[in-house]
Amino acid sequence: MSLLNISASQGIFRWAIDILFAWLWTYLGVMADKSARHVKQVVFPLAKGKVLEVGPGFGPNFGYYNKDNITELHLIEPNKGMIGKLKANAAKAGFTNAKVTNSTIEAVPLENGQYDTIICCLVLCSVDSVQEVVNNLYRSLKPGGRLIFIEHVQASAGSYGNQFGPVVVAFWKFVQNMLTPFWRTFTGHCHVNRPSDQLLIHRFAWDQVYTSSLSAPAAEFEALSRRIMSDFPAEMSQLSSVPVAEPSQMPVFMRRLTPNVWGLLVKPYIR
């Protein structure tokens, strides 16, 4: 088989996987959004200025943004099967001038200090080089800029909200490592065993750090939410009370396989 035929076959396979994953995400994405809705209601209104959302999918996060605080919105989505609906949903949400780029984040040149806010929601699991991507995201964030993330990550006591002991955590980490080679083939290159949260939080200097697990007790979420509401009173004025988490629709196996961690990270100003 010639190199041209191999390349064409790989392109067709990639296209088919994109279509399959887009179809699956029509259902899984709704469940994922509902599971994280209480978190999104707290942190996503903090997006302001020039905003980059990496891997927005069909655009479920548009409804959580405060549109009046966003001057520009750049959406980078690699899945061809999602682009049409993403553009339609952006226009429907009032982001008629949103810039939509069908590409991997690695292929898009990012300038230093380019964005006021960067959103990563269930995307760092699928990039080719997570270290390279987080380096570039930090570099392209303005001083004082905000990085907001919700990511499913490697099993750890913290990612499960400290609900499980070391034996249970080790078991699920083993399951993640075993499944990832097969899993990533059919789920848009998704790796279920990446410690993306640790790379984001501990690799760089942050002026403010707010982070927790979606599985954390309600009291912990309420306390952290009240801290955010107190520290960002202007943006949070429309939120009169701390949202309550809804029961997850995700199967128990999926919740154990893909524990979610969220965070709000603020880059220091240059002193």
**pLDDT of 3 strictly over 70:** no
Mean pLDDT of 148-154: 96
Please tell me which residue, 271 or 258, carries the higher pLDDT value. 258
- Report the distance separating Cα 123 and Cα 130, nearest Å: 10
Q: What predicted TM-score, i.e. pTM, was given to this entire model? A: 0.91
User: Which of 208, 215, 103, 209 lies closest to 153, judged by CA?
Assistant: 215
Mean pLDDT of 84-111: 95
- What is the percentage of the chain residues whose pLDDT exceeds 70? 94
- Whether residue 125 contacts residue 251, with contact meaning beta carbons closer than 8 Å, is answered with no
| H-state helical runs in 116-213 | 130-140, 166-186, 196-202
Residue 245's pLDDT is what? 87
**Residue 55 main-chain phi, psi, to 5 deg:** 65, 55
**pLDDT of 17 strictly over 60:** yes
Mean pLDDT of 188-193: 88
> Across all residues in the chain, what is the average pLDDT?
90
Helices 3-35, 166-186: crossing angle, 10 deg rounding: 130
Residue 213's pLDDT is what? 96
Strand 208-213 relative to strand 260-266, pairing:
antiparallel
Residue 201's pLDDT is what? 93
pLDDT, one tens digit per residue, over 214-266 is 999 999 999 999 999 999 998 888 888 999 988 887 889 999 999 999 999 99
**pLDDT of 8 strictly over 50:** no
Give the confidence band of 12 by pLDDT, cuts at 50, 70, 90.
low
Domain ranges (residues) in the chain: 3-266
Contacts for 36 with CB less than 8 Å, ≥ 6 apart: 150, 214, 260, 262
What CATH topology corresponds to 3-266?
A: Rossmann fold (3.40.50)
